[in-house]
Structure 1
Amino acid sequence: MPSDCTADRCALRSRRSRRRIASASARSCAVTDYGVLFRALAISRLAGTPNHEKVREILKRELEARGFSVEQHAFSGRPARVLLGAPRVVHGINLIARPSGRPAVRPSVWLVAHYDSKGQPISMALRLLGFGALLIGLIGLLFAPPLAPVPALAAIALGGGAAIALLNRVTDNSPGAVDNATALVTVFMTLDQLPRGIPVGVVFPDAEEFGLVGARALVSDRAAWFTDAAVINLDGLDDTGRATAFMHRPGTISAAIVAALRARAWRWLPVVVDGIALARVSRECVTIMKGNWRTMRVVHRPEDAVDRVRLDGAALVAAGLARVLRAP
């Protein structure tokens, strides 16, 4: 690609795509247009499949083209027990990237986004409803007064929640556009807006969809890399909805990100994200998400595809992160 490539020419390529997608910056034009990259990443990529390996190679290429040295951290671990159809042992490779050409200095900030995807017969929205029904049913049976019709209603709620849980089977039929190709592109968008020399590293954990297996391996094998650092985990950045900050371990950087994105900040949310594991070994840790109820209806479903995403949410979050990380 010619070295005099401009942002306008990059944007032109994006506008020629099937759906308009936020354009690349001038710096990233020397690598890959964001729209092209997004479509290459948003393919069904359950951990261990050929597509999953293909996406990993794309991510390595993009990191190295931006001047990062990439370590492949191989691991194996057991998936979450609640996932039906999962293998007994999951094998994966985390990507850990640091700027090349500098001494072995640990980055003070890590941008994190898992790169695997999974499909399930039911959406995240329905799983949350099932979780709520289970919780209500248990509370009703254990603590509510035994007055009719409370026990019967509690039993119905418990049974309904259990039935939904039994549908929690892992498949490879979701392209994972929002979850989590948008976040992968957001990492590159953020890097492309930062001046060289800022000590920012990148981690693309693997096997998040099997129960944070890759993140738990990082905590076990690479904890020292995160001890004095801020971890910014990105997971599911839709065009619609307001940004949400899951404050695993609050700090000055995460507070600045909340302000920059005008995000809703929560100390607990009914979601399972890599930040939960990485917060155990980091100085501060936050997970940034963006979406609404419509987003949850497509996550882990075949409908989570590139055709419904423009990358506006990714561009918004990347701009906010870059402003915070550029600040003195």
Structure 2
Amino acid sequence: MTHFRVSRWLPLAGVLLFVALSLYVANPPRPVAATAPATAFSAERAMREVAVIARRPHSIGTPDHDRVRDYLVQRCRALGLRVTVQDTTVVSNDAGTVVGARVQNVVALLPGRTPGQPGVLVLSHYDSQPHTPGAGDDGAGVAAALETMRALRAGPPLAHDVRWVFTDGEEIGLMGARAYAADTARLRREVGVVLNFEGRGNEGPATLFEVSPGNGWVVGEFAKAVPGAFGSSLFYEVYRHLPNDTDFTAFRASGLPGLNFAFVGGYSYYHSPVDTPGRLHPGTVQQQGDYMLPAVRHFGNIPLVRTPAPDSTFFNPLGLWLVQYDARWDYLLTLGAGLLLAAAAVQARRQGRLRLRGWLGGALAWVGGLLLLVATAWGLTRLVAGAYPQYAVFYDHSFYNVRAYHLAFVALGTAVFAAYYAGLLRWLRPDSLAGGALLVLAALQVLVQVKAPTTGFLLGFPLLFGAAAWWWSLRGSPPAVERVGPSQRAWAWLWVLPAVALLAPGLSILLTTAGVGPLLLGAAFFLAVLLGLLLPVLLPALRRADASGPGGHWAVPGVSGLVAMGALVAAHARSTPTAEFPQQTHVLYILDADKRQAYWVSSTPHADAWTRQFFTAPTFRTMPTLFPGGLRPLLHQKAPSLTLTLTAPTVEVVADSALPTGRHLRLLVRSSRPDAVSLLLQWPRSARLVRVAGHVVPLPDAAKPPVPTGAYATLLYYAAGTAGVRLEIETIGPGAFELVAVDRSLGLPAVPGIQPLPATMIPAPGSGSFTTQVKKGVKL
């Protein structure tokens, strides 16, 4: 028993309990029953709406899309709202690929007591991806909106108008949102604040993750309406540097103040056929409603005069309340933390417990620990990708057992970090190691404060508390004495608790969004910061119990390693697909009508147990004759050519006139198949697309990097129906060129001898997955 003292482990055990508590309180609330008062939001009532909306997939251009649109119109009218359908065409040009679509936004108006004043705009999209019922994305947001409407109608009228816009075409590039936001002048007259509700999974806390610039006023008012909301300006800073978009993007570009909410738990179900009402967590829907209803009531009753204010820092410590303040205060926070850290270092130096050489050594030690954690994350991603290639079809390798891999990463990272620091204790004192980590994190804090000002809280508060606790613990301590007594344990707690409260929930959400993909390396940096701040409670547990000799105690790395092994074993036990947790697979059928040759094609490099029937002797390379602009290698093999049952799209030259520099062509492109949902057109870049369905093609979005498509330009057009789409193209020079037209319908053709999908397999996400495509080239 001389080598085991309970007191040495109490701080570390207490921190682990605090981590568990911080994650637990971030969970969604319990759903409210349908027997709740009429003015309250009930997830049970909202889930009834989800069951109707997400009965089947309802992507743009399909009959079920029209079913959901008509249901929304009927429900909103039944609730007493004024309903219109914005039926229009919109064209975008992001990343060099032109996208066009006919969209039908459902707009429902709840008039206020003082019409004519700017009101509230609430967004959620009602289209789904082709193969998913879309219960989470975005049936939950649509259902929450309908339940909020009902609750508001049961109470007194609001002062301002409230508009709900159920947008169309979000999944193909925010097309409905672009169409509604195009009239900026009307928006500024009618709208004072925008609220968007999204889903990227089927569970987890609803999170405020994006805000408009100059957001001090809107975040402050939301904090009054929903004091316990879960959100962080960290997510805002990270998200605005990523290529992702939601419908909120179109309205943020219009200069309107607003808030963007989403849940991200259950990443494995995102865009999947198993994103069904039965798998959607009712507590998550309840939390969306707990944000939407009070926020609409609050903003609907206060003056919505545009009052831009400096950006806010906001976060939710322990998931209990939303802290919000002017982000400029974080500069003082950074300065205060730096001054206290310097004072503590001077005090430790005077007592002989810290030397400059040791302090710098401790700083380099933390950098070394960071590199080890990044290597651990990289190794884990390579291990999972190599051992389980079937995961590659899922977003970021997020199979249903992904939480076990996250636990394995955290435990393995902790084991590696702890073992590394246990070895360092042979040469460096605890004060040097802990103080060195603080030194590096203080430098990072300065960098973060400059580059991402609203995230200064994340390191600022832990550094402030840690430096203050370190300095206080040194007062009155004998020089060069490093016993871990009650005083040291107290300051260690003071140091680490803010770090746990602020970093643990953020790490959890980051792991959820990372899956087992490249973003896990970012999670490694986050984990290194957290473990660096936990050194005051970690280092005593790594020292020998009697402190009589050099070296570390190996219980922490040993136990952490065992937890990691157990998590990997648990993940392996759930790696086999079942009917409850089915495997995604990808295949499509494309017929080259010119050559009367068809192919089975897959985006995955290897065939699986089911697609092996298509790919008995496949080739994996680019297919320039079928996809002229495609630079990505594809798995493909020849297939039976169904030329008698699959007719090709047609290209009609309506007009061909001469220009001083070339030709001006007006074309009508149509699919002869009534179930076609989209058209893909490609042509040499020597010809320029100028109009689509009468709309001028905008210049490419300079804010987004272009997608390489070789020498060919691309148009994707959705929901053209049998009427087709009219184009105008200008060429340089009088010469001819080839236009490639491909129409796409959902589902694979009825080829004799093909075995149906087993219950353990489902179509992978994507507009090309499990489609029948017919290609036709036309010389113009």
Which TM-score applies when normalising by structure 2?
Answer: 0.30
Gapped runs of 5+ residues in structure 1?
A: 1-19, 119-171
CA deviation string 1:60-85 (max 9, x = no partner): 1221122210121112123676799x
* Equivalent residues of 1:251, 1:284 under 8 A apart: no
Following superposition, the deviation at residue 108 of structure 1 comes to 1.4
Aligned partner (choices 92, 101, 124) of residue 90 of structure 1: 101
Match of 2:52 among 19, 29, 40: 40
1:166-225 superposed Cα distances (whole Å, 9 cap, x missing partner): xxxxxx111111100000111123333333422322111110111011111112136513
Give the alignment partner of residue 201 of structure 1, picking from 163, 170, 174: 163
Which residue type is aligned with residue 165 of structure 2?
Answer: V
Change beyond 3 A, Cα 1:196–1:257? same
Q: Which residue of 1 aligns with 2:246?
A: 273
Comparing 242-251 with 63-72, greater Cα deviation is found at 242-251
Q: Does the CA contact (< 8 Å) of 1:189 and 1:315 recur in 2?
A: no
Aligned residues: 250
CA distance in 1, matches of 2:185, 2:237: 23
AA matched with 1:261: A
Match of 1:108 in 2: 119
- Residue 215 to residue 242, structure 1, CA distance change in 2 (3 Å): closer
The equivalent position to 1:57 in structure 2, one of 67, 70, 81, is 70
Whole-angstrom distance in 2 between the partners of 1:303 and 1:79: 31
Q: Would you say the 8 A contact 2:208–2:259 is kept in 1?
A: no
* Counterpart mapping for 1:1-328 below 5 A: 23-24=33-34, 25-27=36-38, 33-42=45-54, 43-78=56-91, 89-99=100-110, 105=116, 108-118=119-129, 172-194=130-152, 195-198=155-158, 199=160, 200-221=162-183, 223-226=185-188, 228-236=191-199, 238-241=202-205, 243-249=207-213, 250-257=215-222, 259-265=227-233, 266-269=236-239, 270=242, 271-292=244-265, 295-327=266-298
CA deviation vs aligned residue, 1:18-63 (integer Å, no higher than 9, x gap): xx9754455389xx94332111111311112111111111111221
Q: Post-superposition shift, 1:243?
A: 1.7
Please tell me whether the aligned partners of residues 89 and 101 of structure 2 are also in contact (alpha carbons under 8 angstroms): yes
Contact (CA 8 Å) 1:260, 1:320: kept in 2 or not?
no
Q: Which amino acid aligns with 1:205?
A: T
Query: CA–CA distance in 1 between the matches of 2:211 and 2:112?
Result: 33
What amino acid does structure 2 have at the position aligned with 1:91?
A: R
Residue 297 of structure 1, CA deviation:
2.4
TM-score (norm 1): 0.66
Rounded to whole Å, the distance in 1 between the matches of 2:107 and 2:216 is 23
The corresponding residue for 2:739 is none
| Aligned position for 1:4 | none
Shift of 1:100: 5.1
Once residues 70 and 108 of structure 1 are traced to their aligned partners in structure 2, the CA distance between those partners, rounded to angstroms, is 16
Give CA deviations for 1:137-172 in whole Å, capped at 9, x if unaligned.
Answer: xxxxxxxxxxxxxxxxxxxxxxxxxxxxxxxxxxx1
- Does the aligned pair in 1 maintain the 2:93–2:99 contact within 8 Å? no
Q: CA RMSD in A?
A: 3.1
Between the aligned residues of both structures, percent identity stands at 22
Find the residue that maps to 1:281 and give its secondary structure.
Answer: coil
Q: Relative to 1, partners in 2 of residues 1:106 and 1:90: Cα closer, same or farther, differing over 3 Å?
A: farther
- Greater RCO (Cα-Cα under 8 Å, separation 6 or more): 1
Which position in structure 2 is the counterpart of 1:130? none
Report the CA distance shift for 1:326/1:26 in structure 2 as closer, same or farther (over 3 A): same
- CA 1:181 to 1:224, structure 2 compared with 1: closer, same or farther past 3 Å? same
Alignment deviations for residues 263-312 of structure 1 (CA, whole Å, 9 cap, x no partner): 223145132101011112253022100123xx222211112111211321
Q: Which ranges in structure 2 are unaligned for 5 or more consecutive residues?
A: 1-29, 302-780
Q: Is the 8 A contact 1:22 1:34 kept in 2?
A: no
| Aligned equivalent of 2:683 | none
- Distance in 2 of aligned mates of 1:77 and 1:326: 32
Aligned in 2, Cα 1:225/1:260: closer, same or farther, shift over 3 Å?
A: farther
Change (3 A) 1:103 1:255: closer
1:231: how far off? 0.3
